[in-house]
Amino acid sequence: MSPIIQWYPGHIAKAERALKEQLKQVDVIFEVRDARIPLASCHPQIRQWASGKHRLLVLNGMDRISDRDRQQWLTWFETQGETVFFTNAQRGEGIRRLQQAAVRAGAAMNQRRQQRGMQMRAVRAVVLGFPNVGKSALINRLLQQRVVESAARPGVTRQLRWVRLSPTLELLDAPGVLPMNFKNQEAAVKLAICDDIGQAAYDPCRVAPILVELLHQLGHADRLSDRYGLAVTDTGETYLHDLATNRYHGDLERAARQLLQDYRRGYLGAIALEHPPWQDNI
Ligand SMILES: Nc1nc2c(ncn2[C@@H]2O[C@H](COP(=O)(O)OP(=O)(O)OP(=O)(O)O)[C@@H](O)[C@H]2O)c(=O)[nH]1
């Protein structure tokens, strides 16, 4: 059977080369992940790209998960030695704390420059992450004005562009980055569910049933029955068929798209698709 999620490395290689060139000038990396899937939305190369730079880990979309889940992730990342910044870039929550951390990182950098007899200069930062995780919305919030197009369509940010955040901080708005190789299909499916990869990469009729099964496993089957009036019984595929038959004149694709959209828009509730892997790490 073909993989559920597929993308093509050709243009990714080109985009990656351009990005790597720009990264040479960068001091701080804002790594943006999706708060619903903090592990699946970890881009495998960002850590390596951030080596020698200051990395700020942002879990955006905090409104899309429960307070309890947020607290658990905070604690788990702490045990991993990571400080995370939860944000809601759409509403501007958690931004000030992040901005202050970037300013502190910049001040530390300038102190080091001064010690080496170099001139102080504005800190150069870049916002990196999978497509559609809210990078542009975050930059707009950091800038307090809408200068970067932000849309519910993965892959909207096309060019690399510097924007001045303050006299001491410049930001590079990079496009969503997909890794060239991403062998973890389970993570790729979660990215597809959360709309963090282009729709060309998957067939919704194969992804939506997995969402049903995930919700069932995570104890949220009631959210589906509340919304669609259909109890989750057998497999995700059967559920999708039943949904299509009952509500969409048997149109499987429409039912699949609707299901995915309802999850993404939060109509099924604020539901994280991942929880901290405590057992493996503590
Ligand atoms: N609910 C919620 N929606 C958000 C949040 N941040 C961004 N969004 C929405 O998510 C969609 C994608 O946001 P963008 O800022 O365009 O994402 P991006 O990462 O720049 O996307 P690319 O340019 O494709 O890489 C938009 O509809 C935003 O309004 C958030 O914290 N919560």
Within-domain flag for 57: yes
The verdict on 169 and 210 lying in the same domain is no
What percent of the chain shows pLDDT beyond 90?
Answer: 53
The verdict on 167 and 212 lying in the same domain is no
The verdict on 109 and 43 lying in the same domain is yes
Within-domain flag for 191: no
ipTM of the complex in this document: 0.98
Consult the annotation and say whether 181 binds a ligand. Answer: no
SS3 197: coil
The verdict on 121 and 225 lying in the same domain is no
Ligand 1 within 6 A of CB of 94: no
How far apart CA 151 and CA 250 sit, in angstroms, is 31
Which of 121, 154, 173 is a domain's end point? 173
Ligand 1 within 6 A of CB of 140: no
Q: Ligand 1 atom 27: the closest Cα is on which residue?
A: 152
* pLDDT tens figures, 99-140: 888 888 888 888 888 999 998 888 888 889 998 999 889 988
Tokens of 247: 């509500």
The verdict on 224 and 158 lying in the same domain is no
Tokens of 258: 């609707």
The verdict on 91 and 133 lying in the same domain is yes
Q: Choose among 179, 158, 161, 180: nearest CA to 170.
A: 161
Distance 229 CA to ligand 1 centre (A): 30
Within-domain flag for 180: no
SS3 54: strand
Is residue 130 a contact partner of residue 178, using CB atoms and an 8 Å limit?
yes
The verdict on 115 and 165 lying in the same domain is yes
Number of domains in the chain: 2
Q: Choose among 59, 4, 99, 68: nearest CA to 270.
A: 68
How far apart CA 253 and CA 281 sit, in angstroms, is 39
Q: Which of 126, 156, 159, 196 to mutate to test the pocket of ligand 1 (most atoms within 8 A of CB)?
A: 156
Domain that holds residue 146: 9-173
* pLDDT tens figures, 196-249: 988 878 999 999 999 999 999 999 999 999 999 998 887 999 999 999 999 999
Is residue 200 a contact partner of residue 190, using CB atoms and an 8 Å limit?
no
Give the global pTM: 0.90
